[in-house]
Amino acid sequence: MTPAEFQILKTVFLTVVALFLLLALPGYAWLRKSAPEIDLIPGGRVSISAIKPLDLIVVGLYILVFAGFLKGTEFKMNHPEELEMSAGMVMASSITMLLIAAVVPAVLFWRVNLMEVFGLRWPDWKNILWIMPAFVFAMMVIGALMVASGWQSWVQDSLGSKPQEAVTLVRETSDMGLLVAMAVAAIVVAPIAEEVIFRGYLYPVLKRFTDRWFASVFTGVFFGVIHFNLMALPMLALMGVVLAVIYEKSGSLWVPVGCHAAFNATSVGVMLLSRMYELPTAP
């Protein structure tokens, strides 16, 4: 990551957080108090009945955790020689993410039935068999359109940006242990941990104190920016918004987890095929 790219990502991160804390929270609170007849949360299947003001503190702690990740990215950018990627490091990172995600059920366990609130007994589970491929296809089309628009080339040429480090390693590493660890992290760990945090918790909390539209956009952009790669930011932000909408429409966390896993698995598969057959890939 270049210093210019980092500054842009840092600015986006701080702007999104400031919009939520300084504008959206007080703004929606004022709107609810001054115009209680306005229904700010029409429809949807994601329950917010168990969300309490205390959850805003937990959201604040999550923001601080991701701010810490941002500082870690800055350190890594300034000291690339001190943090060489390895299978052990990927496993440690995966365990850390799962522990961070475990805060969500720990916070909610005493208030709600987790099976119910996350929709884990989803009666329409067979629908996921067409939702997942439809989601992957849509995201791949959007990705192709982004490449065609010149966004990635512009970011690369203007700022010297590169694809995410994980993408580069999957394409180039000869360490099979590292490759397996990264594949497991991308296809299993990331979908579970990130969906529990972003869609399973941050989304309903923001929905409770703002509305579902702001919650979808905020969690989507926040999801995109915490991957700390400007080239992928628009794609990941849009993906996050779509996953929030899918969660709201289905009412089951299985759906965004499955879609996220299917997308990552497809991406990893394409990169592995490009390695095997020396196919050209997008930057």
Contact yes or no for 161/1 (Cβ under 8 A):
yes
Question: Of 9-13, 138-142, 167-171, 263-267, which gets the smallest average pLDDT?
Answer: 167-171
Query: H/E element holding 250?
Result: helix 233-250
- What's the farthest any 2 CA atoms get from each other in the chain? 63
CA 200 – CA 202 distance, rounded (Å): 7
Q: Average the pLDDT over 83-99 and give the result.
A: 87
Q: Which residue has the tokens 């899918």?
A: 246
Cβ neighbourhood burial of 230 (10 Å; 0-12, 13-18, 19+): buried
* Cα-based distances in Å from 1 to 143, 197, 200, 220: 21, 25, 30, 22
pLDDT of 278? 58
Task: Inform me whether the pLDDT recorded for 283 exceeds 60.
Answer: no
pLDDT higher at 170 or 71: 71
pTM: 0.92
Each residue's pLDDT tens digit, 225-265: 999 889 899 999 999 999 999 999 999 999 999 999 999 99
Band the pLDDT of 83: cuts 50, 70, 90.
low
In sign, the C-alpha dihedral spanning 131, 90, 69, 74 is negative
Contact yes or no for 2/159 (Cβ under 8 A):
yes
pLDDT higher at 81 or 46: 46
Contact yes or no for 187/265 (Cβ under 8 A):
yes
Question: Of 135-144, 149-158, 169-178, which gets the smallest average pLDDT?
Answer: 169-178
pLDDT higher at 106 or 86: 106
